[in-house]
Structure 1
Amino acid sequence: MNFNIRGENMEITDALKDHVYKKVGKLERYFDSTPSSDVHVKMSVLSQDQKVEITIPMPKLLLRAEEKHADMYAAVDLVVEKLERQIRKHKTKVNRKFRGDNSLKYMFKNELEPVAEENVQDDDELEIVRTKRFDLKPMDAEEAILQMDMLGHSFFVFSNSINGDTNVVYRRKDGRYGLIEPES
């Protein structure tokens, strides 16, 4: 794994880097072969908390977690625990659903312990229970944000009046807004 560690409002010390290498490196034990993917680690200092975000893009799978804590080392530990749970959850789902030779099933080690049953959703729980249909009105992102706020939703799907693409605006955890656009 190739590490890309960066700090926001802080300097990354060698001890902190070593801690990240050690903790995130433990994730390699869950895979048959060492993933050759990049590990993006973003550490930031907020007013009271330390925040760690780790993203590991892999073929057919994206692992991502973030965590806040008063101590940066504890935040790293918590994020790695989340990533481990994600991996075990994916492994359990993959073993249940996918049977093909080229599936995700063969990315993980077979001796991986499954997630406890109370933490895994049954196939019935993944059922779509409601479908909404609506016309996508052409508008710009600012108008879409206004529509989203008027409806009291956390996201809004719209047709971009500039390029005609389907876009999504959403409210971020920090209270600001984000825009999702398809790649060309």
Structure 2
Amino acid sequence: MSGMVGEWVTLLLMAFALGMDAFSVGLGMGMYKLRLKKIFNIGITIGLFHVWMPLVGLIAGKFLSDKFGVFATFIGGLLLIVLGVQMVWSTMKKGEEKVISPVGFGLLLFALSVSLDSFSVGLTLGIYGAKTIMVILCFGIVATVQTWAGLLLGRKVQGWLGTYSEALGGAILLAFGLKLLAPFW
């Protein structure tokens, strides 16, 4: 019994650490003028990606090497940089349509970028034989809640910063993407 409690605590801590990127990026993305319904949908989408990506990672972890996890982190960093640059660029181009926004393909790109690290961790957990249901429940629920928290906090900050909030949100995404890519330099 104590082994199972220890495993839950470990997985919750891992889920919290992995969900911090969803929180940070949600903080930046929350600076878009988002309605509560959209915030709810974004949180659910990110949570589903944090279920799906580690599940795929767990399965692949039984067959692939750790090198693939490095690739996933690299791609996630690049995606965040693209999103961040687009947000900063769109504030400079007044009156033009945004290239990427948190709807449709933009939302999927956003969700993918913050959940790729869950894939990497899923690979590792798959190699070590972690319990699949425990992993995906922890990762999905924690990522959803942390995304909602980041988006709601970003929404509040957006009201304080006015038109510069989107540029700040883009800078947050850009900085987080650069942080992910730092080990590759």
Do Structure 1 and Structure 2 share a fold, with TM-score over 0.5?
no
Higher helix share: 2
Task: Between the two structures, name the one with larger relative contact order (CA 8 Å, sep ≥ 6).
Answer: 2
TM-score by length of 1: 0.32
TM-score by length of 2: 0.32
